[in-house]
Every structure is written in structure tokens, then in C-alpha cells.
Structure 1
Amino acid sequence: MAFMRLFYRLGMVAVLLALCVARPAMADDHTVPTFAPACHSATGLTPGVRAMQPRAQWTCDNNEWRSDVPAVWLRFEAESWQGEKLPQHFFSRIARFTSITFHAIDADGETRTRRLTQADGEAFPSGPVFRMPLPEITDKTTVVLARIEAPHSVPLLTEARITHDPGKAEWSQVDMMLLAFVAGMLILPLLFDISFFVVLRERFVVLHAAMVTAMMTYVLTAGGLASAFLNMPIALMAVLAPLSWALGAGISALFLNAFLERGAQSRLMRRVTVATGWFTMIVPGFFALQLDLTQPIDDVGYFLTFLPCIAVMSAAVLEAVLRGSRSARFIAVAWLPIIITSIERLLRGLGWHVGPSSLDQMMYVAIGIEVVVISLAIADRFLALRHERDAALTEAKMLEQISTRDSLTGLMNRRAIEARFDELLVQGFHTFALVDLDRFKAINDLHGHQVGDAALIACASAIRAAGDRDSIAVRLGGEEFVVLLRGPRPLERAEAMRQAIPMRIAKEVPGLDLPVTASMGVVVVNEANRHKMAFAEFYARADALMYEAKASGRNRLAYERLTVFTAAPEGRRDGEDRAA
């Protein structure tokens, strides 16, 4: 489709622009050494720096990382930077905390201290990382202690590093190019959603647009790419990233419920899926705010409350696939990488395993896969719905024809003409001719209903053939027909139709003993645009005239010419010129 090709090209331009804008903010490709903490310790707020100097206070492996404590200490040993430039900056993953106090301790016991709050942190323009300056590190410094008060995230602790380069980030230029590419790709489904919604007003298109918006917010904030465009506080970025993921996951459940075909989910699963979507937006969304009061539980609470979402959505997709849903197969392919990477991120967030922040790149790749596959799924669903809509319209037209057409003769039926009667009068069809076949019951009695039906079909053909675009033929039922006429000489044209009926029946229905004639009652109205007569009134007048014709010997026409006034003049009758 032309508009889809246009939006695809616009989307590719957006991807290239995103790459170009993000490139200047990326770190150089040269390798800069960074130093991880040798040990860590979880404590209350009371222990001071002297109490933390003995080795017995520390855990010197990657176990027992906790963010549900008042303070966590990180220990950086001088042996790690021997032979390298002295470290000057601390950096770690963006997350909420109250303050970080750095202690640079020399061999002679001299200590230099610097306490910085969250507002003092500066976000990198590449990667989900913030940095802070260390107190002065000298050749005599043996250890650097960092006391992080009220941490809200385990990766804030496990990914902490110190380095001499103030511009150093964990993520390389290639990593950031991948991130920018994914962010640019997210523009494409938004454009597709706009184009689809213009054509097909489906609820799942709006939900998918909201889901993609949440994903884009997550990529920009969790990946740190937003810092290349905006000077955002790290506290805001720390909240926006998990909040947008919670909202996106919850909306995904609502999208799944709206997107799957009817019958792809059981009623119970539909209800559970919707409830899980709202639960995910509300409960993990609340923990994502990382309030001071919830600091001991929000990190664990955030990740654990995602488990119902992962379980329910996996079960819902599996059920739909087993029920033969085509859309569910697309979703299974799209969401499997995200579910896997989400579980890995959950385990890392809970401290059950420790890994570098570059593992997040897997999630961004999974998001890119999801974007492509779900866009294909929506396009496939769009085509399917369009096909269903076209089939429904065709069926509706057929049903309309069945409901407004006489099945035997193909002429309009009474229902159709009554519905359009006022409109036809406005269009000038002021002559109402009622046709009735003479002694038709005898044909059915002597020759059977099959011959009678053939005579009715021939009668309809005669009326249709003798008419033109200024006449409309209708079968009212039985052997009764109505012809509406407009234009000059309506009586002569009506009489020609009546006379054509016996000849057509004799030609098409052989074996009849006598010719089948027709009687006709015709009402002609002058100034019809001003009258208020309904179909029933026309029919009653024409029916009376038609019976007059039959009483006068059949095979003839009786007519009445009416002149209708808004208010009839005194001494003047409405009906005039009555003849047989």
C-alpha cells in the first residue's frame, strides 16, 4: 500500500537521524581501565569509616548483594590500579539513593572524605550511567571506601566502578549505536499504528501505540540515550526507566487481550490477562517510584511482582497458540526473547547473579525483534480484518438484496418500496400504477403453481422490458405488481406495460387455455411535491381503481388524476378526471 511505503521511508529517515544525533555523544573507542570494588558490606547507618576498615567486615565475592539495607559499603583496593593512572571519578548504573560518601584512606591513616547527594550525580550521555568526582587519590592511597546510603537497586552496587577518565562510560560506541538504532526502530511501529488507525479504528492499535511509547521511554532512559538530548536529573531517569517498563508490560497484557482473534482465549484467561495487565501497571509501577518509605522492599518488590505478568502472559500466548491462533504465533516469536531477557534482568536485579550492564543490550535487541515481529503481526491482522470487513460488506449487500428483492421475479419488494417511497416522490415519481393479473387463481388450480410462477416471472419481464429509467417495477406479493412512473405521458406508458403482459406470458408460458390479461388502477398526482400522501393512501386509491377496472370487464385500466393543494379551494374537490 502506498501510505505504508511512505511511512516506512519516513521511519527509516527517523532511524538515521537518531543514529546521527546519538553519535557525537558516544564515548571514544579507546580502552580506558576501570576498577571494580574488591569487597562489599551491608550495614546500618551507625558504623563509621574506622569500623569498616577491618577485613572481617567485608564480603569479598559476588554473593550477598543487598539493596534492602540502610547503607552499603564498597571497598576499592589500590592494588587494582597499580601501574595505571590514579582514579578520579566514580560511576555506576543510574538508580535512586540518598547520598554517597567517599573516603580515600592513605597508608599513614590520613583520610579525605567527600559526601555527595543524588542531585550531585551527572548522567552520562551514553549508557545508563552517572558519575561523581572522588576525593583526591594520591600514590599513598591504599583503599577507597564508598558508603551508599539507602540504595534502591542491586545493580547500582554491582556495577559501580572508579576510573581516571571523567568521560568514561561502560558502553562502547557500538553499544550506543545499537541502542540508537533500536530507539529509531521504535518510531516505525508508531507510524504504522497511525496509518492503521486511520483506516481501521481498532482498540489494539491504540494499545500497541501506547506500548511502543512506553518501550521508547524505557530505551531512552534505561539506556541513558535521553542524556544526549536532555539534561535530565538522575533521580528522574532512575524512576522513568522502571516505571515505563511496568507500564509497557501492563499495556502489553491489555494489547494481547484485544489483539487475539475471537475464541483464541477462554473467558477465564481473558479476565486473568486483563487483571494482570492492570496489576502490573499499578503494583510494579508503584515500586518503580522508589519512595524513601519503600526503600527496604521496593527493589525486591518491583522484580517479584513481575512474575505474575511473565507467567500469565506466557500461559495466555501458549493457550492461544494451542487454539490455533495465527496472531498468537506472531506474538510468541516476538515476546520469547523479551521474556528470556526479562528473567535474566530480574535475576540480576535481585542479586541472584552478577553481570555487566552490557547484558542489557540483549534486552534492547529483544525489543528490536519484538518491534519488527509485532509490526508484521499487526499488518497481517490488518489485512485479515480488512478481508473480514470486505466479506462482511459483501454479505451485508447480499442480505440487503435478499431483504429488498423479490426472490421469484427479482423486482423490488414491498418493504423496499415503502422504505424509499418518500424519497422517490421527491424525485418525481408521481404516478402510482397497481397491476393485478386477471383470474390468476384459475391458472394455479388448473396448471399448478409451477406454471403460475412462470406466468408471474413473464409478467415481471414484460413490465421491466416496457419500462425505462423513469419507471420502477415492484412485486407486492401474489399476482400484484406496482409500477411508479415519472416524466411525460405516464398513462400511455402504463397502458403499454399492461398490454405487453398478455403477449409476454403467452410467449414464455405455453399451454395456457386462455390469454392471461391484467387490470390496472393508476393514480396520477399533480403538484406531488406539496402533498402528504403516504404509500398506503396511494395503494388504497389505486386498489379501488383496479377493482373498478375488474368490475368493468377486466383487461383494462382505470385511473384518477389528483391535484393536491396545501389548503383546498372552496368548491373544488381533491379528486378529478376519474375514468375507466
Structure 2
Amino acid sequence: MQAQSDGPRYPTCLANAEPQIPIRTLLAGPIDWHCTDDPGRLKQLTVNAEAERVLVRFSIAAGAEQPRYFVSRLGEFASLTLAVGEGGGNWQVRSLSTDDVKGMPTEPSIIARLPSTRQASGQYVVIIDRPSHAPLVINSQLQDSDPSQDPAVQHGLLLIAILLGMVLLPIVFDITFYRVLRETFLAWHIAMAASFGLLLSVRSGIINALFDISIETWRVLLIMGLTVSIGSAMMFMRSFIEPGKLSGWALRAIPWIAVGSIILTGLHALSIPALRDVSTTLHMIGVMVPYLMLTFVILQAAWRRSRAGLYVFIGWLPLMTSSWGGIVTNFMPGVRPDDMLTAFYIGMLTEMIATAMGVGDRFMTLKRERDVARAEVSELDELSNSDPLTGLLNRRAIDARFDELRAEGYDTFAVVDLDHFKRVNDTHGHDTGDAVLRTVASILSQCPQCLAFRFGGEEFLLLMKGDQSEARAEAVRQSIPVRIAREVDGLDHMVTASIGLVVVPQGALPNSGFADIYRHADRLLYEAKETGRNRMVSERVRSFRRRSSDRRAAA
């Protein structure tokens, strides 16, 4: 057998044994070892690495420094026995539970100190009862010193802490974005970033430097952290990638796959005795199926030229490469299972950067689309509040803003009506009539401290504030025929205007609405028409009795 003299010492032999046999009796008796010179081929040996009891043997060369620590992949076990041979059939034995081993702060591994011996024979046997999965056996190794105390490892902790902060940082921006644009993909990106932060902290082992947790809790967090990360990533991509870029069946299947994955891996994490024989299979299905779906979604979005999918593809390529690489090493003959942690860290970094950029890009795209939609709605609303011929506001606009305008000091209501306007249309045509109406609208719009409205036909409303509103309204009325004669060609008579004006000071009529004041001004306009037209009738009131409209006769 080839033995190692420095660095990690890997197993050379595996065996199964009945769990009821006492440890020292087992060590003293014959053991059916299955051996190989290549540690990468241990998983090909005809030994069940998930049996009730599994024995792992290490052979250390004579004269080589004797190892002091046992290190292996994070996992659950009923009992871990470390035995060091002293020669002559004597063994130093140390039996441990999961509470007696320590978690590594920089990788998903456990570590335990080997028994002390004065005369090591180079024979080391590790007996694992009820290992939760094969990598706990296959990835066993002996070390001369505690790897977690290596200065390089301590520096690695700082880098992992920085990476963890970067992975969690997008949550802050997502929350800010979500307050502006309540899109589902932002909520799922928050969930994905949080679950990735959990996965990074447990898979790297840094959680052991931050919290005092048991091996079993760490194992459950690692299993569920991976599953929740994959599930939230699928749900994020489902809502993030543009409509039409993913197959309908995939969109429908993703939530079911996510839920099913959590259930299957949850059963594995609980270590239910009745499910021990199928627990690893459940876990494999619970991880592989969503991994395959996630890979399909990323590739299909990129193939269909999704803009969001491009960011996802770039960001996830290193992460998926490391993930699939780790999976392949668990099945490839002659290769020891490898967590590919360095590639995993690089993948986490690229995924965080690219996905955050994609989220920002998608946010800005959706925000622009929303702003355009709002502008269109605002434009439509403005059009619905304005007269298309003159551009003045219409009756709908003043109904919606009456209380606001009154509070701003508008206290004078002047109803303006053109005299004998029907004659203009009948004699000169509607084009000339429209030109007259536009000229009147221009005159009213130029009145300072006034708002002009067209109420239909030849009727306008001038809403005024400030001093001397009656005199200003009269000046506007007198300017109408002059401006029309100057600006509208083809007329053979003067087009005059009549005004009914009412001044309602602030607080004078607190319970009156626009309709009440308009009816009063309209009645005054009727009086102006009845008394000869081309004049203004005004009134300053403190209160008036509501009455039915005295609508004027034909103008």
C-alpha cells in the first residue's frame, strides 16, 4: 500500500461490520478490509459507505510524523470512534458523539483530535456508526495539525466575511427599489440574496466563527440552505425573466418543483430512522431535479435572447460550473468528491454582481415604462379636462378642483357668452366660428390672475382672484369685439359678448358648491341678455337662496 508522509493522509481501506460488536473485540478480530492504492477509488470498493457501521483504515509510513487530527465532510453519525494502534494488539480508543466534534470555520467539515499514544504503530482506524451519507466516510483524512489554525485560513475568514457582506448588500437596494416599484421579482431577489447569505455562511463554515451551533444544526442549515437557495433562485428567475422567454410548462412547474424539493430534502435533513435506506436518494432527487430545472431556465432564457436572461447567464455560469463540478466528482470513478469551494466563492461573487446589475437594469426599464404609462394617463386625463378646440379647461376640470381653487383665493365667477354667435356659424361657416372661439379663448387666457374654461358652444367661464375683478372682467369683455375684428377675417359685423358676474368672498357661502354659484352667475348673464346684450351684470353677495335655474332663452 502506498502511504503518505506529509500533508493530508487519506484512507486506504474500508470495511463493514456489525454494529453490536464491541469496539475492542472488533479491532482484535479479523476484519474484511477492501483496499486500494488510489484514494479516489474508495467509492468503487464493494463496501456500503452508508451502512450501520463503516470502518476506515489509514496506513502511516514508519518514521513519518504521526497525525493528530481526524477531519471529514460535515455529516451526522450515531458514534465516531478513533483508534490508534500501539503494536502488540493494543489500541488507544476514543469514542465521540456529534457534540464532541468541532466544526471547521472555513469549510463544511468536522474535526476531532486523535487519541494520544506513546508508541504509534502507524495503524489508524476510524469507526463510524450510522453515517448520514457516503462523503462523511469517503472524504475522511488525517492531519498533522488543526487546519483551522493555519494563518492562511484566518485570512480566508476575512475574505469570506467580505464576500458574505457583498452577497447580502443587494437586499438593501432591493428594499429601496421595492418601495418605488412593487414588482414580484424584487421580493424574490431579496429572498434569494438572504438564502444565498445563509448558504454561504454554512457552506463556508464561517457560521461556526459567528455562532456556537451544534453539528446537527449546522448540517440541517446546510441542507435546507442549499434547497431554499435553489428554490428562491428558480422563483426569482420565473418572475425576473421577461414574459415569453420561458416555456409555459416551465413556469407552471417551477413552484411545484421548489415545494417538492423542500419536502424531500427536509425529510433527509430530519434523519428519520424509517427512511434511512432511502434518505440519500430523497436528498439527491430533491437537489438534482431543481438543479436541472434551474440550468434549463438559464439556458433557455439566454437562447431566446432575454435581456434579463443574459445577466442571469453571465452571473450564474461560474456558480453552476462549480455546482455541477461538485456533483460530478461524487459520481466520477477515480476522483475524490470535491466541494470546489474556491469556484463556489467565485461563482457567488459573479452571481451577486451580474444579478444585481440585471435587477437594476430591469428596474430602470420597468420604471421608464411605468413613467411613460403615467405620462400617457396624465396626458389623457389632461385631454379629458380640456377643450380640444380652444385648449381651455372644461367643466370637468373645475368640478374636480373647485374646493382647491376657492382655497387659493378665486372668488369671482364670470360667465361669458358671445352674442348672436349662431349668426356667425350660419353666415360664415363653422371654420370662421371656430376661429372666433379660439380668439376669445386667447383673450381670456391672457387675463392675469384668471383661469379660463370653455363650457360648450359659445359659453365660457372666467374664474378670477385679486382686486378689482369686476373692472378687469369688463375690460376683457370690451376687448373681445376689437380682437375678433382684428384677428378673424371675413366677418361683416361686430361679435360682442355679455357677462354675468358674481363675487363670492371667502367664507361668505361655506356650504355652497360650484353648481350653486354657477347658477347665480348664469342668472345674471340672463339679465344681461334680456337688457340688450353687449354688457355685464354683476353682483357681490354674502348669501343667496338656492333656486331652480332661470336659464336664458336662446342667445
Q: Give distance in 2, aligned partners of 1:205 and 1:523.
A: 56
What residue in structure 1 maps to residue 363 of structure 2? Answer: 382
Deviation sequence 1:378-428 (CA, Å, 0-9, x none): 222232233233323433332232122222211111110111112222333
What residue in structure 1 maps to residue 346 of structure 2? Answer: 365
Deviation sequence 1:447-495 (CA, Å, 0-9, x none): 2222111111001011122x112x2110111211111122332222222
Q: Give distance in 1, aligned partners of 2:259 and 2:164.
A: 26
3-state secondary structure, aligned to 1:141: coil
Conserved? CA contact 1:170–1:357, under 8 Å: no
Deviation sequence 1:78-131 (CA, Å, 0-9, x none): xx3322122232111222111112333455323333211111102234333222
What residue in structure 2 maps to residue 506 of structure 1? Answer: 485
Q: Give distance in 2, aligned partners of 1:346 and 1:304.
A: 12
Deviation at 1:167, TM superposition (A): 4.7
3-state secondary structure, aligned to 2:520: helix
Q: Does 1:101 align with 2:70?
A: no
What residue in structure 2 maps to residue 58 of structure 1? Answer: 34
Q: Give distance in 2, aligned partners of 1:82 and 1:438.
A: 122
Conserved? CA contact 2:68–2:113, under 8 Å: yes
Deviation at 1:366, TM superposition (A): 1.2
Where do residues 101-500 of structure 1 align in structure 2 (5 Å cutoff)? 101-137=81-117, 139=119, 141=121, 143-167=123-147, 173=153, 179-197=160-178, 199-265=180-246, 267-348=248-329, 354-355=335-336, 357=338, 359-465=340-446, 467-469=447-449, 471-500=450-479
Amino acid at match of 1:248: S
User: Which shifted more, 445-454 or 415-424?
Assistant: 445-454
Q: Give distance in 2, aligned partners of 1:266 and 1:516.
A: 69
Q: Decide whether aligned partners of structure 1 residues 354 and 158 sit closer, same or farther in structure 2, where only a CA change above 3 A counts.
A: farther
Conserved? CA contact 2:268–2:279, under 8 Å: yes
Amino acid at match of 1:71: R
User: Which shifted more, 371-380 or 179-188?
Assistant: 179-188
Aligned identity (percent) is: 32
What residue in structure 1 maps to residue 550 of structure 2? Answer: none
Unaligned runs of 5+ residues in structure 1 are 1-30, 574-580
Q: Decide whether aligned partners of structure 1 residues 240 and 349 sit closer, same or farther in structure 2, where only a CA change above 3 A counts.
A: farther
Flag as ranges the 4+ runs of structure 1 deviating above 6 A.
168-171, 350-353
Name the TM-score, length of structure 2 as normaliser: 0.87
Amino acid at match of 1:485: M
Q: Give distance in 2, aligned partners of 1:555 and 1:267.
A: 72
Conserved? CA contact 2:108–2:202, under 8 Å: yes
Q: Give distance in 1, aligned partners of 2:272 and 2:67.
A: 32
Q: Give distance in 2, aligned partners of 1:422 and 1:126.
A: 68
Amino acid at match of 2:131: P
Q: Give distance in 2, aligned partners of 1:317 and 1:86.
A: 49
What residue in structure 2 maps to residue 548 of structure 1? Answer: 527
Q: Does 1:533 align with 2:512?
A: yes
3-state secondary structure, aligned to 2:265: helix
Q: Does 1:72 align with 2:51?
A: no
Deviation sequence 1:180-201 (CA, Å, 0-9, x none): 4533432443444355445544
Q: Does 1:519 align with 2:498?
A: yes
Name the TM-score, length of structure 1 as normaliser: 0.83
Q: Decide whether aligned partners of structure 1 residues 32 and 198 sit closer, same or farther in structure 2, where only a CA change above 3 A counts.
A: farther
Q: Does 1:36 align with 2:17?
A: no
Unaligned runs of 5+ residues in structure 2 are 548-555
Amino acid at match of 1:39: C
- In the alignment of these two chains, the number of paired residues is 535
Deviation at 1:38, TM superposition (A): 0.5
3-state secondary structure, aligned to 1:254: helix
Higher RCO (CA-CA < 8 Å; seq separation 6+): 1
Q: Decide whether aligned partners of structure 1 residues 172 and 290 sit closer, same or farther in structure 2, where only a CA change above 3 A counts.
A: farther
Q: Decide whether aligned partners of structure 1 residues 168 and 410 sit closer, same or farther in structure 2, where only a CA change above 3 A counts.
A: closer
Q: Give distance in 2, aligned partners of 1:277 and 1:346.
A: 19
